[in-house]
Structure 1
Amino acid sequence: MMLQNCVQTPLGIVEVEVVGSGIPVMVLHGSPGGIDGARAMSQFLDRDRSCCIHLSRPGYLNTPLDPTAPSIDAEADLLAALLDTLDFARVGVLAWSGGGPPAYRLAARHPSRVSAMVIVAAISSSWVAAKMHLSERFVFGTRFGEHLISFLATHKPEHIVEEALKGEGTIRGEELRNVTNHVLAHPAQVKLIVDTARTLNIGGKRKPGWHNDVKNYADIKSLELECVTCPVLLVHGDADSDALPVYTYYAHARLPNSELIMMAGGTHPSFYAHQEAEIVQERAKQWFEHYSQEGRKNAVK
């Protein structure tokens, strides 16, 4: 099955793509990002066993941001309306980084719609965006910078891998070289980092979503994690400098039903780019499959 379009829901338009068959999994990209980021995130899922719902979150690419409803809760309600429109009664949710807050609020506000979640290196409480250096604003905030990333992705992918692991983690020296060499030896891990790098520009058609996330996430008082009743697999790298591991420890202490995997020496993309990435990804697939089956049994009962 494959569907790609901007669909009209009762609460607004959403850019969405449905790919594959099997267990439905909604994929929520981080900040910044877009449907292309969601597509990269789900590469590890088998298309004959998973039906992936990729989308652009509000304000990113072709999903407009409703100025009258810019909140995280409004986004969660929009996601539930999208499930109604696509005729999905219940889904798993895969969220990375800035996709965490709307994932948690979807599960808290619409518990019957979420069978299980895999939350990767995600924000769970107030987050203040770090001030960008001039060079970062040039690379990630301009049209020229977007073209530069695209050029490097095509001609120098190893440079993007090295900079991503160094810039989004605290590992240095031999440890950084070892992780980098491992990732470079695994084409799927290189592809994830390169594909994700193409989605990180905070200008253009991603700018409204980025600014909305920055404002909303700084203002978080509580995501009501205690109200999330579905099983949650939490994954984080202990050397992540982008979304600090404390966010996942915080969530684990408050979620009623969660399991924690902390990846040693893992940077922000460690779920996808790390010596144990394939092992942890397999656990994530098992998580979705197990709780999807449990949900079907309960429905039959």
Structure 2
Amino acid sequence: MGRYIQVEDHVKIYVEDIGEGIPVIFLHGWPANSQMFEYQYSILPKEGYRCIGMDFRGFGKSDAPWESYSFDRMADDLKAVIDELQIENAALIGFSMGGAVATRYMARHQGKGISHLALMGSATPVFTQRPDFEYNMTKEDLNAQLIIPTYEDRPKMLSQFGLKFTHHKSRAALMVWLELLCFQASNHGTIKAAESLRDEDLRADLPHINVPTVIFQGQKDKICDPKLAELTQQSIPNSRLVAFEDSGHAMMFDEQEKFNSELLLFLNQMSGGNNNSGVASHNL
């Protein structure tokens, strides 16, 4: 079921709410929307989980205001969704930019309503290089590869970005579908969220995370260097890193069976391993 939730600056955020049971909130990556988790939505409700997918402002079916695409603002939107739906003891799943917003939420709002966290190909602790941070792309590279081309030819930018998204190139139809999801974003939302990825720093946020946390990372990732996952894991007390050796950025597509199995293993910890049907009940 889809619905809109209006947040404090009168922006309407689109939310999908599928299934019943333990809530699992999905935060998508740049510049897609929550439908990128389609292959989790089709499995988790059968296992007793309620899937809640939120489109960030400017993306998917949410409103696209001209301004306000900071991680603070998007974390506040997430809090409004959690408050409106009266969510408690949820798992928060953040992929790429969604991982950055999830991290900001955990620090800014003290993890309200969240009992478990999964960061996947996460744009943390910092997405671009700094004088004291030597990893991943430079700000100049981000401008040249993502922001300037979006002003000039967004479809071409998305096609080129998509080439880096997965390690396996045999699933061409799936990548066309994912590219179509990215076309649903607003042009200015795409640009301004990319500016947040370029400029924001989450190093001070990560130590505030105090719930069980798992970090999924494709070892052939060309968007978020695997070193970022190692640094993220080192900054979150008692977190655990799961490596996807044969995956690029989007391990949920490159190693779909392992991804869904590892996600279910993690989620089943929330119910002490006693959730309805267990990990092995599906042909993933």
Bin for the TM-score computed over the shorter chain:
0.7 to 0.9
Q: Is the 8 A contact 1:107 1:230 kept in 2?
A: no
1:209 and 2:189 aligned: yes
3-state SS of 2:126 partner:
coil
- The residue that corresponds to 1:42 in the other structure is 40
1:290 and 2:269 aligned: yes
3-state SS of 1:103 partner:
helix
- The residue that corresponds to 2:101 in the other structure is 102
1:235 and 2:216 aligned: yes
Q: Is the 8 A contact 2:5 2:13 kept in 1?
A: yes
- The residue that corresponds to 2:180 in the other structure is 198
Deviation of the 1:212 alpha carbon = 2.0
Q: Is the 8 A contact 1:117 1:288 kept in 2?
A: no
TM-aligned CA distance change 1:234 to 1:205, over 3 Å: closer
TM-aligned CA distance change 1:226 to 1:23, over 3 Å: same
- TM-score by length of structure 1 reads 0.73
Provide the rounded CA distance (Å) in 2 between the counterparts of 1:86 and 1:69. 23
Q: Is the 8 A contact 1:193 1:273 kept in 2?
A: no
* Aligned-partner residue type, residue 141 of structure 1: R
Provide the rounded CA distance (Å) in 2 between the counterparts of 1:8 and 1:199. 22
3-state SS of 2:228 partner:
helix
Matching of residues 224-263 of structure 1 within 5 Å: 224-263=205-244
Q: Is the 8 A contact 2:28 2:95 kept in 1?
A: yes
4+ runs of 1 displaced by more than 3 Å? 9-12, 65-70, 136-140, 166-169, 190-195
Deviation of the 1:59 alpha carbon = 1.5
Deviation of the 1:103 alpha carbon = 0.7
- The residue that corresponds to 1:52 in the other structure is 51
- The residue that corresponds to 1:299 in the other structure is none
Is there any run of 5+ residues in structure 1 with no aligned partner, and where? 150-159, 172-178, 185-189, 295-301
- The residue that corresponds to 1:281 in the other structure is 260
TM-aligned CA distance change 1:240 to 1:9, over 3 Å: same
Deviation of the 1:66 alpha carbon = 5.1
Q: Is the 8 A contact 2:104 2:202 kept in 1?
A: no
Residue deviations 1:136-165 (CA, integer Å, cap 9, x gap): 8699714x999xx8xxxxxxxxxx9xx95x
Deviation of the 1:168 alpha carbon = 3.5
Q: Is the 8 A contact 1:115 1:292 kept in 2?
A: no
- The residue that corresponds to 1:17 in the other structure is 16
Q: For this pair of structures, how many residues does the alignment match?
A: 256
Provide the rounded CA distance (Å) in 2 between the counterparts of 1:254 and 1:31. 23
Q: Is the 8 A contact 1:29 1:97 kept in 2?
A: yes
3-state SS of 2:88 partner:
coil
Provide the rounded CA distance (Å) in 1 between the counterparts of 2:34 and 2:263. 21
3-state SS of 1:233 partner:
strand
- The residue that corresponds to 1:126 in the other structure is 126
- The residue that corresponds to 1:174 in the other structure is none
1:167 and 2:164 aligned: yes
3-state SS of 1:115 partner:
strand
3-state SS of 1:25 partner:
strand
* Aligned-partner residue type, residue 45 of structure 2: R
3-state SS of 2:258 partner:
helix
Provide the rounded CA distance (Å) in 1 between the counterparts of 2:193 and 2:262. 29
Provide the rounded CA distance (Å) in 1 between the counterparts of 2:83 and 2:15. 13
Is there any run of 5+ residues in structure 2 with no aligned partner, and where? 128-138, 274-284
Residue deviations 1:61-112 (CA, integer Å, cap 9, x gap): 3323556643211211221111111121231111211111111111222323
Provide the rounded CA distance (Å) in 2 between the counterparts of 1:112 and 1:292. 19
- The residue that corresponds to 1:156 in the other structure is none
TM-aligned CA distance change 1:282 to 1:139, over 3 Å: farther
Q: Is the 8 A contact 1:233 1:258 kept in 2?
A: yes
3-state SS of 1:290 partner:
helix
* Aligned-partner residue type, residue 93 of structure 1: L
Bigger share in helix: 1
Provide the rounded CA distance (Å) in 2 between the counterparts of 1:95 and 1:262. 16
TM-aligned CA distance change 1:74 to 1:272, over 3 Å: same
Percent sequence identity is 18
TM-aligned CA distance change 1:132 to 1:112, over 3 Å: closer
